[in-house]
Homo-oligomer: A and B are copies of this chain.
C-alpha cells in the first residue's frame, strides 16, 4: 500500500496506472503532472488524479511511489528534475518500451539514488492516446518486464514485483540488453514493417483502390501502424541498433521466400511457409513455446 503516487505524464499509460492503483486500493492519493496543463486538468476532472501539480518536481514531492509515463526520450531530463526527492524509500518506475537507454538515463540523472529506480515495461497499449482513453484494466493480465541493474535496491525490486502482480500482471525480470533485443524482434520490427507496408501502398498510383479492397488480414496486420508517430519515432531511435539488426535478419528471411518464389521451388516454398505457420499456430501469448512440435 502506498501513500502517494506522483504521476509524471497523465496520458493513456500513466492515467491507466493511476486508475488501476486506485481501483486495487493500493494508493491513497495521486498527484499528477503533465507537460500540457490542459491534460493535467482533464486528468483531475476525470478522477484519474486527485491533485494537479505544476511541475514534475512538485508531483514527486511527498510521493513514496513515482511513475514516469513520458516518452522514453524525456526520461533523463524528467529524472533530473526530481532527483533531489528520490530517497532509498522511494520507488521510481517508468513504463518505456526500451530499457538500455532508460537505464543509461537513470544512471546519469540519479547518480547514487539510481537504486530506487526499477525500469519497467508493461506489454500493453492501445492505438489511441490520451487520458480520455485511460482505463483501470489496461494492465490486467499483461506481462511486465522489469530490468533491474546491479545497483537496483532489492527492496524496491520486490515492491515493484508485488505491485504489478497485485494489478494482475505476470512479472518477470531480464537484463536490459536482452529486453531490447527481444522487443526489437517481436514489437519494434513488426511496427517498422507495418509502417513500411502502409507507405509502400500510399506511394502507388491506385493507393485508394488498394486500401478500399483490403480485408481483415490487412486490418490486423496493420493495426500497429496506427501507433503514435512521435512515440514510435522515439522507440525506434532509442533501440536503433537492435531494430536495424533485426531488420536485416528479417530481410534475409524475406529473400529466402522471394528466391523460392522466383525459382518456383514449390517444395522449398511450402517448407518455409510450414515452418512459420506451424510455429504461429501453436503460439499463445505469454506462454513458453517450442517450435519443434
> Does A99 lie at the interface of the complex (its beta carbon under 8 Å from any beta carbon of B)?
no
Whole-angstrom CA separation of A288 from B232 in the bound complex: 27
Residue picked from A142, A218, A262, A270, most chain B C-beta under 10 Å: A218
Whole-angstrom CA separation of A78 from B145 in the bound complex: 54
| Of A31-39, A152-160, A208-216, the one with at least 4 CB within 8 A of chain B | A208-216
B215 pairs with A142, CB closer than 8 A: yes
B196 pairs with A286, CB closer than 8 A: no
CB distance from A72 to the nearest CB of B (A): 14
Interface residue ranges of A63-82 to B (CB < 8 Å): none
Whole-angstrom CA separation of A127 from B276 in the bound complex: 13
Across the interface, which residues of B come within 8 angstroms of A46, CB to CB?
Answer: none
Q: Which of B123, B178, B215, B249 contacts A186 (CB 8 A)?
A: B215
Across the interface, which residues of B come within 8 angstroms of A124, CB to CB?
Answer: 215-216
A interface, size bucket: 35 or more
A225 pairs with B276, CB closer than 8 A: yes
Complex A-B: 24 CB contacts under 8 Å: A123-B216, A182-B209, A185-B201, A186-B210, A196-B254, A196-B276, A197-B253, A200-B250, A200-B252, A202-B291, A211-B283, A212-B289, A220-B220, A220-B224, A221-B221, A225-B277, A229-B270, A229-B274, A232-B277, A233-B273, A236-B261, A243-B261, A244-B262, A247-B254
CB distance from A289 to the nearest CB of B (A): 5
CB distance from A244 to the nearest CB of B (A): 6
A283 pairs with B196, CB closer than 8 A: no
> Does A150 lie at the interface of the complex (its beta carbon under 8 Å from any beta carbon of B)?
no
> Does A258 lie at the interface of the complex (its beta carbon under 8 Å from any beta carbon of B)?
yes
Q: Which residue of B lies closest to A224 (CB)?
A: B217
What sequence of 0s and 1s flags, for each residue 265-288 of chain A, a beta carbon within 8 Å of any chain B beta carbon?
A: 010011011111101110101111
A277 pairs with B190, CB closer than 8 A: no
Q: Which of B243, B253, B291 contacts A196 (CB 8 A)?
A: B253
B261 pairs with A226, CB closer than 8 A: no
Q: Which of B214, B220, B269 contacts A223 (CB 8 A)?
A: B220
Q: Which of B186, B198, B217, B258 contacts A187 (CB 8 A)?
A: B217
CB distance from A183 to the nearest CB of B (A): 7
Question: Do A221 and B196 contact each other (CB < 8 Å), given the known contacts A127-B281, A240-B264, A285-B214?
Answer: no
Whole-angstrom CA separation of A199 from B243 in the bound complex: 16
Residue picked from A195, A270, A276, most chain B C-beta under 10 Å: A276
> Does A194 lie at the interface of the complex (its beta carbon under 8 Å from any beta carbon of B)?
yes
Across the interface, which residues of B come within 8 angstroms of A123, CB to CB?
Answer: 213, 215-216
B197 pairs with A193, CB closer than 8 A: yes
